[in-house]
Homo-oligomer: A and B are copies of this chain.
């Protein structure tokens, strides 16, 4: 299974030709307000979903006319794609790149999960676009779904790679199934989002952290398996 490296500025480089042409003729002011629109759109989309995101509501938030907002994207679909790309960039900056400063192996894997947890915990109020978008575009083919799936796969591949490296470093058992381990970790994040955001079950954050410890204990090499504490323990885990 091929796992590609997360490119630093992939979001900007991989834009559709249409948007690229559009921005080639754009003036600084245009780019600035477009960025502001995308920012507001991201805020709306994480709350009411990518499908619920309407240009009318977005225009109202921006104190602009519908057509004024619309002109920056050319279609609602292009707006949705821009929102997904923006989310992807922020996710990278907040979760992926900071963890890359940790040494390969268990420290980096811990940092990836800790950062992921911190972001998901914050998203208990706002909502996660990768989770919400997955449900909305389950069986709705098209460029928005492709963009979403591509972003998520890139992130999960990074997680998988960290597990493989931890195995190479001898921090997890040599016979550990990296895909299996990444799958179980993914489940913890999803359960946290579901139970904390929808059901509002108290203690979900602590349970996700504990679940990660359990996974590490299971797959940890018999030699250097510390009692496993998170790099950056989130304050307020007890509730």
Contact = CB atoms under 8 A, between A and B. Distances in A.
Given A194-B190, A210-B180, A199 B149 contact: yes
A12 interface: no
A218 interface: yes
A70 B177 CA distance: 52
B187 A138 contact: no
A191 B186 contact: yes
Nearest to A126: B139
A97 interface: no
Contacts of A179: 203, 207
Interface in A180-205: 180, 183-184, 186-191, 194-195, 197-199, 203-204
A207 B179 CA distance: 8
Contacts of A218: 214, 217-218
B139 A135 contact: no
A91 interface: no
* Range class of the A interface residue count: 35 or more
Interface of A is mostly: helix
A136 B139 contact: no
A56 interface: no
A204 B217 CA distance: 22
A186 B195 contact: yes
Interface of A: 47-49, 51-52, 127, 131-132, 134-140, 149, 152-153, 156, 177, 179-180, 183-184, 186-191, 194-195, 197-199, 203-204, 207-208, 210-211, 214, 217-218
23 contacts: A51-B52, A127-B138, A127-B139, A132-B135, A134-B199, A138-B198, A139-B197, A152-B199, A179-B207, A180-B210, A183-B195, A183-B204, A183-B207, A183-B208, A184-B187, A184-B188, A184-B214, A186-B191, A187-B190, A187-B211, A190-B191, A217-B218, A218-B218
